[in-house]
Amino acid sequence: MSTPGIFVTGTDTGVGKTVVSGLLISAIRDWKGQVGYFKPVQTGSDSDTQTIAQLTGLNPPSLAVPVYEFPEPIAPHRAASLHGAHIEIEKIQSAWESLPKNFWIVEGAGGICTPLSNTTQILDIPKALELPIVIVAASRLGTINHTLLTYQQARAKGLRVLGIIVTGEEDPELVSYLKKGLDLPAISKSEIPTWLKGVLQ
């Protein structure tokens, strides 16, 4: 039996993936109990795993250790090359398979096409882990274009997209457009608990 979970990706860096991950964790824990957080690839000195600990109160073993951590706040493949490392999907998959079999929120790095190596991208992680994804998009100029492109790439890879979560200032018109244009649930952060129950039932 595969480990259940949701992969959180974004249209870009800085769109609120970690905050949304924390909200998903809180909603799932309130409803189903056991839930964990896994950030396979971490770049930059600000640890998203520690941020999740502060936001949710999770502790090990519900907080998985990243497989790859680099202090430079740059794309993973560039950070890895500075340290003579090579990010391998197989190593991430092996770490995933060793985690407890409760529900996991897995967070990507940057956008869905952010390179991990010369031949792999972030979207190869949910593909390997057999996880559906949610796309986090910020309510700012350019979001419609970035969201449509992200969705198209995800579907081209054969990934199941559960929905779009829009962060930032409330923008009902944007949410409505994405919902109709993609024929997918598009919600604001405040709607996460209600939406999740429909997704996970």
Catalytic residues: 39
* Residue 91 · residue 53 · CB < 8 Å: no
Distance (Å) of CA 129 to CA 18, 26, 122, 178: 19, 22, 12, 27
3-class secondary-structure state, position 58:
coil
Distance from C-alpha of 109 to C-alpha of 114, rounded to nearest angstrom: 7
Cis peptide before 61 (omega within 30 of 0): yes
The distance of Cα 52 from the centroid of its chain, to the nearest Å, equals: 13
3-class secondary-structure state, position 165:
strand
Tokens 């249209």 map to which residue?
Answer: 11
